[in-house]
Chain A
Amino acid sequence: MKEKDVKIDCPEQQMILYVEKENGQYGPVQTGSYISANYLDDFFYKRKNLEESLHSKVLNLEISPIQYFMVLEDLTLSELSSRANIGKWKVKRHLKHRNFHRITADHMKRYARVFNVKEEDIRSLGSLINETKK
């Protein structure tokens, strides 16, 4: 790849690419990210749709807030279980809306740490389940 072909204007995400310079030598050049420069709007559009779809699933009592964050953060059951240090079978139960209120304070704390959100964020999403039930 030639140096002249890689200059992309994207100050939000800079990166190093290795290219062929004018003197024929290969070396690094700092440029912007192609995908961030051209497709970031598409990423946010898909992200928003995913959030809305998962939110409505929580409202419709199809999933629990734990699954909401798990899918949003692209984690698998086994990865979440290992990161939160909670047995797989327990995590599996916590993914179902009907078991959400049974999650202990300690487990909730661990989930919040893995998802890097406040416990309150998970609980407030969980309160939607109770409202729906009413």
Chain B
Amino acid sequence: MRIENFQHKMAAHCESGTITSLLNHAGFEITEPLVFGISSGIFFGYFHKMKSFAFPTFIVRNRPGQMRINSEKRMGVKFNTFTFKNQDKAQQKLDELLGQGIPSACQVDFFYLDYVPSWEKVHINVHFMVVIGKEGDNYLISDSYFPEPVGLPSASLINGRFAGGSMSPKGFLFYPAGIPPYIDFESAIRKGIKKACFNMLKIPLPFLGVKGIRMFAKKIVEWPKFARDTEHLSHEIMKINILLEDQGTGGAGFRFMYATFLQQAAEMIHKPALKELSQELMIIGDGWREISLFAARIGKNRDLGPEKLKILSEMISGRAKVEEKFFTQLNKAMI
């Protein structure tokens, strides 16, 4: 059984891609950057010490699940959501929805997805994908990180949906339940941008937003003391590239996708200032890409002495400076 009219599309990011493809299937044509921008997806957070992370790390997007919540709040679309304690009931509900021809998104731990290549496998509980069919004991998955739909054994899907740990999925699934006849995009875009600016500039915590970028720049020189050996440090430094480019960001830690959103928004709400700012963000994104390429290079060469980490720190610090200016201008443009 397969939901025939569901169109699989690759996307830059799993959550925005999943929401976009579900809304498109429900008859609401919207692009991934618009979903991302309206839901204030752009963000930065640095975590130096956390119980759930084995090494300092950073994030470049808002809290998982927030894109769906913000899309509901700002565009008025409705999603039905479910979490489960019982694994059998969770699978039953999924099968029931498939039987009714409703594709639904599941939250899973990326590690248990058999179709993911071994080098990409990490324990991360916040991956989203759409279940679009079932044949025997295999589910058919539309995963926005893959060019074609892929098969997944039922046991692996259960493992992924009930992984436990921080941000445990608890069998979470959702699907669109209603699209309003009229959407006030001007208000949605405005609110999305204002909240993104607030998140980047005004959260009074030193590890979030632009302050988080500064903390990242300051603390990265301390990374060697957390590493087991040079190869471990090299692995973690190269992960900067993965987190910024490969882990579903659309490049430069979502900065390119947000620039695309601003360009689309400028046309939709007739605000040329946003177009100029989108060009500026593209240039800022190029700077982030330089950081990720530099990190990959020094990691591969094991050239991880204090002077190279200082250069990396200065490059990151430079991004904090330009992003502070950028988001201040963006905030002003929306007044």
Say whether B133 faces chain A, with CB atoms less than 8 Å apart: no
Given contacts A18-B259, A74-B54, is CB(A83)–CB(B163) below 8 Å?
Answer: yes
B contacts with A: majority SS = helix
- CB of B166 within 8 A of CB of A82, answer yes
Cβ distance B135 to chain A, nearest Cβ, rounded Å: 23
Q: Bits for B239-253, please: 1 = Cβ < 8 Å to A, else 0.
A: 001100110101110
- CB of B111 within 8 A of CB of A116, answer yes
Q: How many A-B residue pairs have CB under 8 A?
A: 130
Question: For the complex, what is the distance from the CA of A33 to the CA of B122, rounded to whole Å?
Answer: 17
- CB of A76 within 8 A of CB of B111, answer no
Chain A interface residue count, CB cutoff 8 Å, equals: 43
Given contacts A14-B146, A14-B147, is CB(A39)–CB(B238) below 8 Å?
Answer: yes
Residues 23-62 of A contacting B (Cβ, < 8 Å): 25-28, 30, 33-36, 38-40, 42-44, 46-47, 49-50
Q: Which are the 6 A-B pairs with shortest beta-carbon distances?
A: A18-B256, A26-B260, A83-B164, A83-B165, A78-B51, A17-B251
30 contacting pairs across A/B (C-beta < 8 A): A1-B256, A1-B285, A1-B289, A13-B117, A15-B12, A17-B12, A17-B251, A18-B33, A18-B257, A20-B282, A25-B263, A26-B256, A28-B250, A30-B10, A34-B245, A35-B238, A35-B246, A39-B238, A39-B296, A44-B119, A49-B231, A74-B54, A74-B122, A75-B123, A76-B51, A82-B166, A83-B163, A83-B164, A114-B164, A116-B112
B interface residues (Cβ-Cβ under 8 A, vs A): 10-12, 32-33, 51-55, 111-112, 117, 119-120, 122-123, 144-147, 159, 163-166, 168, 231-232, 234-235, 238, 241-242, 245-246, 248, 250-252, 256-257, 259-260, 263, 278, 282, 285-286, 289, 293, 296, 299-300
Given A13-B117, A79-B123, A116-B112: 10 more A-B contacts, CB < 8 Å: A1-B286, A13-B246, A16-B10, A26-B278, A28-B250, A36-B119, A44-B119, A46-B235, A78-B51, A82-B166
